Amino acid sequence: LEQTLRGKNPNVVPAVIHAGPTSSRVNALLERRVQRLEAELESQNEEAKQSLHGRHEQQISALEQQLEQKQQVKPEDSGMADCQALEEKLNRIRQYHQEKEKSLLQQVKTLQQQLETKVNRHPRHAEAAYGLRIERLNQELATKTRSIQELNRTVKRLQRERRNMSVSEPCITGTKQQYCCHRTHHSAPAEDCSAGVTTFLPAQYEKAYQPAVFTGSHISEVLQENKDLKQSIELLRLHNEEEKAALKADAFQAKEELLRYVLEEQLTSLKTEHHRVLVHMRTTALEHSSSKVTELTNRLRTREVRADSQVAELQKSKEALAVSKSREDVLQMQVAGLLQELKKAREVQGPEAKLLSNLEKKILHIELRHELREKELHQFTRGVCQTSADQHTEEKRWKYLVLNKNREMETFRLELDSILDTLRCLQRQRMPPTPLTPLAFAQEHQNWQVHH
């Protein structure tokens, strides 16, 4: 049968399986077969991809050539529509080929999965896996049986030792036998533990040995009792810790209460001291109140005298301001008349217009300065009404400024009179006056500012 299978189909998987005498060779042959099939699938996939890519490139190049030919033959208007149609066609072809490529890749993946499942489901391979599993289970069973036998031996030895236990043996021999039993339970069957027993002196916290306590009990009961005792010890330890924590909390609260009591005592003492100091201060203030009242009355009288003197000075300054305002009104009337005369002179004489404009600029500048001084005076008067009696020096300064302003007004009036006299002389003689250049006017204005 094997020879017929090899002769008919040498590459079939069953023939390959029959060809191998052992499971390891069968696995090796199957792995080689799978690798060869995977390599063939990958090569076929790469060839399909390359062929598809080549076809795509050929179609794209052909379409691009057609586009170029049509663009060369047709005009631009008709070429745009053809180009769009060709681009749409090209996109459709690309999508179709991409979908085809995806479907081929999916087919390859499905074939690979089927191949893997077939290889895994082969009966010989399954039998080999089952055989390995059975061997592993047999090994585990052998180890378990050995451990059970060892446990049985240890149990028999323990029973024998319990039977041979005498009443007169000390506590240390019992503990040593338990230690030996524990060693035999965890290790292979060893020698008898009764030989070579060493005695140890009991500690102070150990109890006296009573052999009749555990005579009728099994080792599991002893262990359970030991576990219960450990749990009770743990509970006692926890209870002790809780009591310690409660005692610490009580001590902390007691300390806090003591500190609070001390602070309250300090506060009460401070309050009493503060009250005593306040009473002392009140008494001293009442004793020295008469002298303070006299001092305050004297200060008030001196301030009233100063205020009266300041009021008188303010009235004088107001009278001086009224006189200066009347003078300013007269000067404004004169300036208005001069402006009218200047307008008439401009209408009559043309060359005199520049001189008159310069004079007007000069007059406007002086008027602006005059207005600024008036504003300063108004601010000063308002400030004097609101400020206290400590501004005597400021009043003197402003008086000096008022006097200077009056002098400037007098000089301005004299200059205007001289200008009017010159204009009248020019009108009488009917001679064109020499027009002032801007440079000469600036020099004259600077000289006037330096002079004033």
Over residues 407-431, the pLDDT tens digits come to: 888 888 888 888 888 888 887 776 4
User: pTM higher than 0.75 for the full model?
Assistant: no
Question: Roughly how many angstroms between the first and final C-alpha of the chain, as a whole number?
Answer: 145
CA distance 284 to 279: 9
192-205 average pLDDT score: 40
What is the reported pLDDT for 206? 44
pLDDT (tens digit per residue) in 137-177 = 778 778 877 877 777 777 777 777 777 775 444 444 444 44
308-312 average pLDDT score: 87
Each as own residue / partner, the long-range contacts of residues 414-418 (CB below 8 Å, 24 or more positions apart, any chain) are 415/448, 416/334, 416/335, 416/338
CA distance 181 to 193: 8
- Res. 189: pLDDT tops 80: no
- Res. 183: pLDDT tops 50: no
Place of tokens 């001289």: 418
CA distance 293 to 299: 10
- Res. 382: pLDDT tops 70: yes
- Res. 435: pLDDT tops 70: no
pLDDT (tens digit per residue) in 50-90 = 887 788 788 788 888 887 887 776 555 555 666 677 677 76
